[in-house]
Each structure stands twice: as structure tokens, then as C-alpha cells.
């Protein structure tokens, strides 16, 4: 077995340790005792390579368990907050993430929280739900008077644990707010300001719901999309088109790379332009954690495309996942965005090349076959997570994605172009926006058409953890069994 495969096994063992540790607790002292025992056996069987590899896999699995157990200890230390539940308090803090506007209200996340009149601080973050106006900015320092409430679970979703995993321990509904200071010179503040300015230009150029879709794709703002439109995207499995996710980032990056190569740009030059495009996009939406993780995944896939060997990206992507889980092991259980991003990219890396060779004899007219197979690959990899998180699945999503996805780069690039021109001359931008409006209208109508079929949207019971384990076990077995050396779609572009 090659060194790269050993490395892959070690990474997977660590991830599996975090996965099982997320559901089952084990004594840290017992785990340390097992690690010590394995290390002593390694010295005893030093000349037997396979035995040593086995013990190293066990050790890394236990390290995963230890990492998640250490996180649980940190959470227990923070649970002194129980004493503050339902207490009316005056606190001060800084808005740590871009404010979100949804369903007529703003969602603010507060950090560096100081309890006024007390020597204690809240070692974590707080979510505030406030009226839509006045609008607040990233890094505003505010003083609030409201009731601290520990979040509660709902509809079978472990909302409390999910927020705790992100270091958020309280929710405050409609408190009295006073702005103490705005950090106008900070880069994040300037990005937030530019984001609002660009969103206003989009609203002046496009009508709704097209304006809301452009803002979602280019600025990460979904507040102007109606609930009816969002439901249509949900029912057709095309929500990723208007959300910043690993699947969205990867598909756009791969198609963008293909187009640059198709027009004759050298592979190395196309790669750097694509990477710059991803960095710019992440900066534009304010560097949220989900977008940063998605950009890492998308960048790794682009790197694999650059060297013409997509299948070799697997180790790099899994190692990136290990680094993210080292920083925050709770992502694996409680962050659906991370799960979908990670698995969708792995699906594209490992499943897509095998499907590509199976369907090699079919024409790739207008890149439809590639989009179809990429979508299928991502859905195979994420199916249990989708069912477990949302309890539903769209059987028409593949067809909806085939029709809608090819136009995503056009809408994004057109949206950016219209924003730039609109900042100088709105009239010219409105004229140039007409083709983009046509494309957007076509996408929206296609989504509504597929969403109108009730049989295409299936509801399921949430799958159990053991069902997911069996599913992925069978999937890995199939991928290992079908392990012929095959040329990938991207290698053919060389």
C-alpha cells in the first residue's frame, strides 16, 4: 500500500473518532490508557509494518475521541450560564458577523460580551433578534437591555447543542439597543458598507424576485427572496444555487475553470484567475465561516484540475477536513453546511470520475453530461445527510439542476458586471442587465415548474445514525471494488 493511502487511512481514522465521540462519551483516562498500551505494542512489534499501521490507526481514532471529549469539557465549564437563564440584564458587546435580515427581522450575533454592573463576562456569543430597522453593521459596539434565554430544541433538531457547538449560549428577543461605537476604519466594516451599496444598485436595476436571486448569488444576501421562491428552490433541490456552500462553490469553480481552458487560456493561468475569483467572492460576502470552508474545498478541487488529476485531490480535501475538525470538532455532527460541503466535494472527486467513464460513449453537448454527472455524484454522497437534516428529497432535482446550473456562471459574472457599471451609470447598467434578467426569469420559471409537481418532493423519516454508517460503508465498498484506473473528464481537457 502506498504512503498516500496510509495517510488517507490515518485521516479517516481521526475523523471516525470524532464522529463516534460526538454520539458516545468515553472516559479520557481510559482512552489515554489505550493509547499508552498501543504505543508499547508498537515498540514490541517494531519490525512488522502492518501491525504498526493497525496500532497507528487505533491511536488516531482515539485521538479523535480525545479531541471531541476535550470540547465537551469546555462546554461543561461554560454551563455556568444556566444561572443567567431568563435573567433581565444590561450587557455590552460587538456584532461579530454580518447581520442577516429574514422574515422581517434582523439576526445579530454578539461577541466580547460584558455584563454591565458585574465583574463577570459571558464566555461565548449571544444571538439577538431585532426589528428590521434600524440596520446595524458588522463590528458595531452596542449596549442592550433584554432577557437572556438559553435556546431550546425544536422539531427534533438539537438547536441548543448546535448553537453551543458554535459558542453561542443565549438568545435575546427584541431587546432595547444603543449603539456605542462603530469601527468605520476596519476592513470588515468597509466590506459591509460596500455590500449594502452593491445590494442597493442591484435593487435599482432588477425587479423582484430577480434582484433577490442576484444578491444571493453575488453578495450572499437572501433577505429579499420571498418565502414562496425559497420554497420552490427547496422543493427542487436547487437551493444550493442561492446559498454559499461547498457544492455551489465547487460547481461554479469547476465550470469557470473549464470555460477558461476552453477559450485557450493556459491551465496555470486559468487556475490563478479562478483562485482570485474565489477569494474575491468570499471577501465580498464578508468572510463567513461557511464561505471560507467552501472556498478551501473549491480551491483544492481547482488545484486538482490544474494538475489534471482530480482523483488525487481526495487526500488534500480530507486533510483539510481534519484541520477544520481539529479547530472545531463539533462541525462534524452539528454543522449541516460543513457536512454537505465536505461530502459533496468528496462525491465529485471519487464518484464523478467513475460515472464519467461509465457514460463515456455519450456526448457532452453543451457540457450537459458533466453537469448531470457532477450533480448525481454530489447527491449520492450527501443523500443521508439531506434526509437526516431536512427529512425530504427531490427526485426531480437532477433534471432541475441540469437546466438551471449551466446559467449560474452567467448570472454571477453578469451580476458583478452590472454592479460595477451601475455604480457609474444606472441607465447603461439597466440596458446591459436585460439578458441577465431573461436568464434569471428562465431559471426562476424552471424552478417553479419542477416545484409544481407534488410527486417530485418526497418526505422521509429522519434516518438513524446506524443507517448512515451502513450507507457510507456500502458506498465506500463499491468505490473500492470499482477501482479501475480511468481517465477523468478533466484529464481529457489537457
Model confidence band, residue 298 (pLDDT cutoffs 50, 70, 90): low
β-partners of residue 178 are 143
Residue 100 CA to residue 228 CA, distance in Å, equals: 19
| Average pLDDT value for residue range 62-70 | 87
Query: Rounded distance, CA 108 to CA 94, Å?
Result: 10
Q: Is the pLDDT of residue 238 over 70?
A: yes
Helix (H, G, I), strand (E, B) or coil at 123: coil
Model confidence over 117-176: pLDDT tens digits? Answer: 766 667 778 888 888 888 887 778 888 888 888 887 776 667 777 777 777 888 888 888
Average pLDDT over residues 323-339: 82
Q: Where are the alpha helices (DSSP H) in 79-186?
A: 159-165
pLDDT tens digits, one per residue of 258-292 = 777 777 777 777 777 777 777 777 777 767 777 77
Share of the chain above pLDDT 90, in %: 5
Instruction: Kindly write down the DSSP assignment for every residue of 19-48, as one continuous string.
Output: HHHHHS---HHHHHHHHHHHHHHHHHTTT-
**Which of 229-238, 327-336, 387-396 bottoms out in mean pLDDT, i.e. has the lowest?**
387-396
Per-residue pLDDT tens over the stretch 349-395: 888 888 888 887 777 666 677 777 887 888 888 888 877 776 677 77
Mean pLDDT of the chain: 79
- Phi, psi for 88 (deg, rounded to 5): -80, 120
Tell me the C-alpha distance between 227 and 272, whole Å: 38
DSSP 41-84: HHHHTTT-HHHHHHHHHHHHHHHHHHHHHHHHHHHHHHGGGGGG
Q: Which fold has domain 85-181?
A: OB fold (Dihydrolipoamide Acetyltransferase, E2P) (2.40.50)
**Residue with grid cell 417553479, as numbered in its chain:** 448
Residue 324, pLDDT > 70, answer: yes
**Per-domain boundaries in the chain:** 3-77, 85-181, 197-493
pLDDT of res. 438: 93
DSSP 245: -
Selected residue with higher pLDDT from 3 and 478: 478
DSSP code, position 130? E
Whether 305 shows a pLDDT value over 90: the answer reads no
> In this predicted structure, which of 32-41, 199-208, 313-322, 430-439 has the lowest mean pLDDT?
313-322
* pLDDT given at position 169: 80
The answer to whether the predicted template modeling score (pTM) of the entire model surpasses 0.85 is no
Amino acid at each position: 500500500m502506498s504512503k498516500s493511502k496510509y495517510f488517507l487511512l490515518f485521516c479517516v481514522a481521526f475523523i471516525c473518532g470524532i464522529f463516534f465521540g460526538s454520539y458516545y462519551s468515553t472516559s479520557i483516562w481510559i482512552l489515554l490508557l489505550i493509547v499508552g498500551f498501543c504505543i508499547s505494542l508498537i515498540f514490541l512489534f517494531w519490525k512488522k509494518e502492518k501491525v504498526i499501521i493497525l496500532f497507528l490507526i487505533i491511536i488516531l481514532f482515539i485521538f479523535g475521541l480525545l479531541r471531541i471529549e476535550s470540547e465537551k469539557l469546555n462546554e461543561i465549564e461554560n454551563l455556568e450560564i444556566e444561572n443567567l437563564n431568563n435573567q433581565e440584564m444590561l450587557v455590552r458587546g460587538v456584532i461579530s458577523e454580518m447581520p442577516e435580515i429574514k422574515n422581517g427581522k434582523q439576526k445579530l450575533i454578539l461577541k466580547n460580551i460584558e455584563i454591565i454592573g458585574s465583574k463577570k463576562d459571558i464566555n461565548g456569543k449571544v444571538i439577538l433578534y431585532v426589528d428590521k430597522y434600524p440596520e446595524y453593521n458588522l463590528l458595531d459596539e452596542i449596549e442592550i437591555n433584554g432577557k437572556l434565554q438559553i435556546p431550546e430544541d425544536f422539531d427534533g433538531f438539537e438547536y441548543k447543542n448546535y448553537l453551543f457547538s458554535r459558542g453561542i449560549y443565549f438568545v435575546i428577543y427584541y431587546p432595547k439597543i444603543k449603539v456605542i461605537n462603530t469601527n468605520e476604519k476596519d476592513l470588515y466594516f468597509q466590506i459591509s458598507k460596500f455590500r449594502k451599496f452593491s445590494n442597493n444598485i442591484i435593487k435599482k436595476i432588477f425587479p423582484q424576485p430577480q434582484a433577490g436571486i442576484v444578491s444571493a448569488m453575488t453578495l450572499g444576501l437572501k433577505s429579499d427572496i420571498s418565502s414562496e421562491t425559497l420554497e420552490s428552490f427547496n422543493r427542487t433541490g436547487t437551493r444550493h444555487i442561492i446559498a454559499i456552500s461547498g457544492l455551489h462553490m465547487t460547481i461554479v469553480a469547476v465550470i469557470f475553470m473549464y470555460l477558461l481552458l476552453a477559450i485557450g487560456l493556459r491551465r496555470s493561468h486559468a487556475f490563478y484567475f479562478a483562485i482570485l475569483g474565489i477569494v474575491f467572492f468570499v471577501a465580498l460576502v464578508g468572510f463567513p465561516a461557511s464561505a471560507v470552508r467552501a472556498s478551501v474545498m473549491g480551491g483544492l478541487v481547482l488545484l486538482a484540475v490544474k494538475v489534471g488529476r482530480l482523483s488525487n485531490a481526495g487526500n488534500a480535501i480530507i486533510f483539510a477536513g481534519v484541520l477544520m475538525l481539529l479547530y472545531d470538532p463539533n462541525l462534524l455532527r452539528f454543522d449541516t453546511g460543513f457536512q454537505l460541503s465536505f461530502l459533496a466535494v468528496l462525491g465529485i472527486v471519487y464518484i464523478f470520475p467513475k460515472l464519467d467513464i461509465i457514460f463515456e460513449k455519450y456526448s457532452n453537448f453543451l457540457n450537459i453530461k458533466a453537469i448531470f454527472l457532477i450533480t448525481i455524484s454530489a447527491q449520492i454522497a450527501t443523500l443521508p445527510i439531506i434526509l437526516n437534516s431536512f427529512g425530504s428529497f427531490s427526485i426531480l432535482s437532477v433534471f432541475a439542476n441540469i437546466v438551471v446550473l449551466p446559467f449560474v456562471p452567467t448570472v454571477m459574472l453578469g451580476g458583478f458586471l452590472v454592479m460595477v457599471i451601475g455604480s457609474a451609470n444606472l441607465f447603461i447598467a439597466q440596458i446591459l442587465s436585460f439578458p441577465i434578467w431573461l436568464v434569471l426569469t428562465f431559471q426562476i420559471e424552471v424552478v417553479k415548474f419542477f416545484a409544481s409537481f407534488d410527486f417530485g418532493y418526497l418526505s422521509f423519516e429522519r434516518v438513524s445514525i446506524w443507517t448512515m454508517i451502513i450507507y457510507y460503508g456500502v458506498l465506500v465498498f463499491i468505490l473500492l471494488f470499482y477501482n479501475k484506473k480511468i481517465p477523468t473528464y478533466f484529464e481529457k481537457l489537457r
